[in-house]
Amino acid sequence: MIVDQQAPRVSGPSEPPSVNTLSRRNFLRAGAAAGGGLVLSLRLPFATGEAEAAADNVFTPNAFVRIGSDGKIVLIMPYVEMGQGTYTAIPMLIAEELEVELQQIRLEHAPPNEKLYVNPLLGIQATGNSNAIRGAWQPLRQAGAVARNMLVTAAARHWNVDPTSCHAERGEVIHEATGRRLSYGELAAEAARMPVPENVALKRPQDFNLIGTPAKRLDTPAKVNGTAVFGIDVRPPGVKVATLAQSPVFGGRLKSVDDTAAKAINGVRQIVRLDDAVAVVADHMGAAKKGLEALVTEWDDGPHARLTTEAIAAELDEALLTPGAVAENIGDVDHAMAGAATKVEATYRLPFLAHATMEPMNCTVHLREDGCEIWVGTQALAKAQATAAETAGLPLDKVVVHNHLIGGGFGRRLEADWIARAVEIAKHVDGPVKVVWTREEDIQHDMYRPMFAHRLSAGLDGMGMPVAWNNHYAGSSVIARYLPPAFNNGLDPDTTEGAIDLVYDLPNLHVEYVRVEPPGIPTAFWRSVGPSRNVFVVESFMDELAAAVKQDPVAYRLALLDKTPRAKAVLALAAERIGWGERLPPRVGRGVSLQNAFATHMAQIAEVEVAKDGTVRVRRVVCAVDCGTAVNPDTVAAQIQGGIIFGITAALYGEITLKDGRVEQGNFDTYQILRMDEAPNIEVHIVQSQELPGGMGEAGTSAIGPAVTNAIFAATGKRLRKLPVEASALKQPV
Amino acid sequence: MIFTIKVNGQAHIVDVDDDTPLLWVLRDVLGMTGTKFGCGMALCGACTVHVDGVAIRSCVTPIDSVGTSEITTIEAIGATVVGARIQKAWLDREVVQCGYCQSGQIMSAADLLATNANPTDAEIDDAMSGNICRCGTYARIREAIKQAAAT
């Protein structure tokens, strides 16, 4: 398989193939390809809530399989590759049923196209929420099976034999009795005239050749020899490089700029003043950065000039005292609480977090009077195009977006703020301009994982088991801004995921959410989104309950899992594999967490060592996962390993704070990322399963935080209810 | 100022200020974009290249300090025995995720193995902890370095 790094075309697949048949289930159509051959059009879900929208009767395909008369098989699909292995796992689904080698499939990224790709309910074309495989699992295998069936039918007709006497193998149809063969390329044009079969059986799991077998990532060779092209690497002829400073306080304005010194710098071409930002355009980034440092800039800080994170935290605490929207209610919590033998209460606090993708924000724009071309790496192609069009004041069809490999997404590149910025700057520049953010700008003008506060209370019966569970929490709803139709009655699926539908059998449960939007700091999705907070809270509190009645935290959880056998199985497996219950040296402890998030069941047990000075080192993590069918098991393991590192970074170091309205962190010295000498040994155990595949990009991240803090409790007796870990609180008493 | 620098065996004449970081000369002036920008303060290692075989952070290396040294970048490291071994190990071990930091990781690893053919875990940690990977591929990097050392 060949991975296209750039998909410069906006025509081609955006023109629907001539439709001749509509399948009964309305998920797929077949027709003739423009240059001869067979095209299947299908619809893959994109994002949260889209599965529901698919019930809509309007067929708006967004993925295409083209089998050309030249034998080339091209899959055009809307998901983007950002390290999660989607460019390998998705083609595996179609290759499995189509009976071709993975290497025979060429992948092209779908271009933005409002008509074809925008969901009528959500208006979004995006890769996120760990749902690519979940969405593509059924439709892509069906498309492969349908195409195979049509190719076999075409061959049988050609030979005038019964189709059941033929079979498909490695891109050919073979007539078994005579050994005659025709390649898919030879058959494609004829296959396009065959009726679309309505019921094609999919392979049984035991017959899979590709699915479930580790496959080599196919986008990697270019990433080890310097030839992979990320957005930041594009160099259209005549491109200038710009870097910028935005108002250090969100909502502030640019008051004045003295650019005398900057303009004198060799290579500096132009200073661009915007309402709330200033940019230096130069021949290269070295000159642009030097120019930016030489500017003497005054800002009007605006209404948030005195804002602090403490003030936002106080607002959240206040909101915990006000009623919110009921996310889940089971039984009668108040009644159960009144009769409880023991009561436990705790308040948890989670910080703002930056994404800090390794590739800083960047976007290259060539704005002309009659059109706009942009080069970028985005998780949300249609949003990128729409934002550029709106900022440029151009119709959508005048904006061409070239999407590229993404040097880390984690939710940051679901936004388009930096694309709007680049277009604003390009309005002042003659010719193409690449706008590259410094790391400081990237961290100080991110859109952040929101700060949250949760107040938990529980009532335990005489045996110590929970009979009442109350979770009241407050913070920002990213969905309310990003996908307004998905925010209903004060709730959205992201802020509640991991707080409701718990794996535990709790007879009386009440979960209530209060939406509080912080002033002066934008919020956004961040790897593992809602569960990154909710799992920390739920699993910390569950640990507290076990501790309150002096029970083993694993046994305590297992006793609550009779109705969720998949959760119980992963917890038991993780405990067995780490050797739960072994004696450990002083200041070493193990902590557990369990979750069902992104339709994946996962248990993690972390082993930590807390030094005398309070420094925490995560030594080992054992993860047991049941993600249903593991399409590419090696990618599953890689995503868990990486997700755990991402989550440890957040647990130990991650915090964005505001002082005088300004983000106090700026680069990797003040916003630390876990390094190799701190990375634990991670063991991943994948449960063999034939269930539907679950999401894998984020689950590892949400599970690790509470496993670490629960392990710190085991090692020190100190319960941490606020992230990140405060090492000074863990010093060994003298 | 005019400088003549030698990159991957080829001489290039560039006209930039003497304090211009080598990173931007490579990326924006010479168009060799395999070397990446991550922090600009030698904190993340994405910009690592070799100067006379030694790994340095090109984002804080001014062009006027390079002189006539031999600069080697990710684009040419595969031509060295150690570099080719490392690239192969990276593919065999499926190290890469987003891939953005991997040029720098490979350049740091190549320096390590060129000077220490059989590094211990602690030596690998020492040599590699200046390189951040946000995707968290550290365990596989460690395995790949061991594989490259063993071949």
Domains of chain B by start residue, with CATH: 2-75 (3.10.20.30), 77-150 (1.10.150.120)
- E strand or H helix that includes residue A633: helix A633-652
Q: Is A682 on the interface with B (CB under 8 A)?
A: yes
Tracing tokens 């902590």 back to the chain, one arrives at A591
Q: Are residues A703 and A532 in contact, defined by beta-carbon separation less than 8 angstroms? A: no
Q: pLDDT at position A88, please?
A: 87
CB contact under 8 A, B129 and A675: yes
Which residues in A lie closer than 8 A to residue B131 (C-beta atoms)?
675-676
Shortest CB distance from A668 goes to which of B43, B95, B141?
A: B43
Rounded Cα distance, A616 and B80, in Å: 40
Cβ atoms within 10 A of the Cβ of B116, count?
A: 14
| Single-letter code of the amino acid located at A75 | L
DSSP H helices in A118-242: 132-159, 184-191, 221-224
**CA distance to A145, A247, A509, A696, per residue, from A332 (Å):** 50, 50, 7, 35
What proportion of chain B, given as a percentage, has pLDDT over 70? 100
CB contact under 8 A, B75 and A359: no
Q: Is A213 on the interface with B (CB under 8 A)?
A: no
Rounded Cα distance, A535 and A704, in Å: 9
Burial of A129 (0-12, 13-18, 19+ CB in 10 A): buried
How distant is the Cα of A234 from the closest Cα of chain B, in angstroms? 8
Q: pLDDT at position A111, please?
A: 67
Rounded Cα distance, A75 and A83, in Å: 19
With CA atoms as reference, report the closest residue to A229 among B75, B25, B44: B75
CB contact under 8 A, A230 and B78: no
The second-level CATH assignment, the architecture, of A310-352+448-730 is 2-Layer Sandwich (3.30)
How distant is the Cα of B54 from the closest Cα of chain A, in angstroms? 18
Which residues in B lie closer than 8 A to residue A229 (C-beta atoms)?
33
Q: pLDDT at position A340, please?
A: 98
Rounded Cα distance, A124 and A270, in Å: 36
Task: Enter the DSSP assignment of A732.
Answer: P
Residue environment code for A454-491, b if the CB has 16+ CB neighbours within 10 A, otherwise e: bbbbbbbbeebbbbbbbbbbbbbbbbbebbeebbeebb
Shortest CB distance from A682 goes to which of B100, B126, B139?
A: B139
How distant is the Cα of A320 from the closest Cα of chain B, in angstroms? 34
What pLDDT, in 10s, does the model give residues A43-63?
A: 766 543 333 333 344 555 667
Q: Is the complex ipTM higher than 0.95?
A: yes
How distant is the Cα of A414 from the closest Cα of chain B, in angstroms? 16
Q: pLDDT at position A348, please?
A: 98
Q: Is A261 on the interface with B (CB under 8 A)?
A: no
CB contact under 8 A, A224 and B91: yes
By C-alpha distance, the chain A residue nearest B36 is A359
Q: pLDDT at position A135, please?
A: 79
Sheet with A342-350, edge to edge strand ranges: A325-330, A509-515, A466-475, A452-460, A342-350
Q: pLDDT at position A523, please?
A: 98
Tracing tokens 């796992």 back to the chain, one arrives at A89
Q: Are residues A519 and A688 in contact, defined by beta-carbon separation less than 8 angstroms? A: no
CB contact under 8 A, A224 and B25: no
Rounded Cα distance, A108 and A72, in Å: 12
How distant is the Cα of A512 from the closest Cα of chain B, in angstroms? 34
Q: pLDDT at position B98, please?
A: 95
- E strand or H helix that includes residue A41: strand A37-42
Beta carbon pairs, A and B, within 8 Å: 198
By C-alpha distance, the chain A residue nearest B136 is A642
By C-alpha distance, the chain B residue nearest A84 is B97
Written as one string, the DSSP assignment of A221-288 is HHHHTT---BGGG---TT-EEEEEEE-SBTT-EEEEEE-HHHHTSTTEEEEEE-SSEEEEEESSHHHH
**First-residue to last-residue Cα distance in chain A:** 62
Confidence bin at B74 (pLDDT 50/70/90): very high
**CA distance to A265, A407, A409, A634, A668, per residue, from A88 (Å):** 47, 17, 18, 11, 32
Phi-psi region at A722: left, alpha or beta (left = phi > 0; alpha = psi -120 to 50) = beta
Residue A528 in tokens: 């593992």
Which residues in A lie closer than 8 A to residue B91 (C-beta atoms)?
216, 220-221, 224
By C-alpha distance, the chain A residue nearest B93 is A216
Q: pLDDT at position A37, please?
A: 86
Q: Could you give the dihedral angle defined by the CA atoms of residues A56, A57, A58 and A61, in that order, rounded to the nearest 10 degrees?
A: 80
Helix, strand, coil % over all residues of chain B, rounded to 5 = 45, 15, 40
Give the angle subtended at the CA of A662 by the CAs of A660 and A666, to the nearest 5°.
Answer: 140
Give chain A's residues under pLDDT 70.
1-27, 44-62, 110-129
Q: pLDDT at position A112, please?
A: 67
CB contact under 8 A, A225 and B78: yes
Written as one string, the DSSP assignment of A361-377 is -EEEEEEETTEEEEEE-
- pTM value? 0.92
Which residues in A lie closer than 8 A to residue B133 (C-beta atoms)?
358, 645, 676
Rounded Cα distance, B112 and A253, in Å: 48
Task: Enter the DSSP assignment of A302.
Answer: G
Rounded Cα distance, A78 and A92, in Å: 16
Which residues in B lie closer than 8 A to residue A675 (C-beta atoms)?
129-132, 138
Q: Could you give the dihedral angle defined by the CA atoms of residues B76, B82, B85 and B89, in that order, rounded to the nearest 10 degrees?
A: -100
- E strand or H helix that includes residue A325: strand A325-330
Domains A2-225 and A310-352+448-730 share a fold: yes
Q: Are residues A1 and A107 in contact, defined by beta-carbon separation less than 8 angstroms? A: yes
DSSP H helices in chain B: 22-24, 74-77, 81-92, 102-115, 121-128, 138-150
Rounded Cα distance, A505 and A309, in Å: 36
Q: Are residues A54 and A45 in contact, defined by beta-carbon separation less than 8 angstroms? A: yes
Tracing tokens 């799992």 back to the chain, one arrives at A535
Give the angle subtended at the CA of A247 by the CAs of A291 and A364, to the nearest 5°.
Answer: 60
Q: Is A562 on the interface with B (CB under 8 A)?
A: no
Q: pLDDT at position A116, please?
A: 52
Domain assignments of chain A as residue spans, ordered by start: 2-225, 231-302+361-436, 310-352+448-730
CATH number of A2-225: 3.30.365.10
Residue among B134, B141, B146 with most chain A CBs within 10 A, to mutate: B134
A231-302+361-436 has CATH 3.50.50.60 classification: no
- β-bridge mates for residue B70, sequence order: B6
Give A728's contacts (C-beta < 8 A, 6+ positions apart). A614
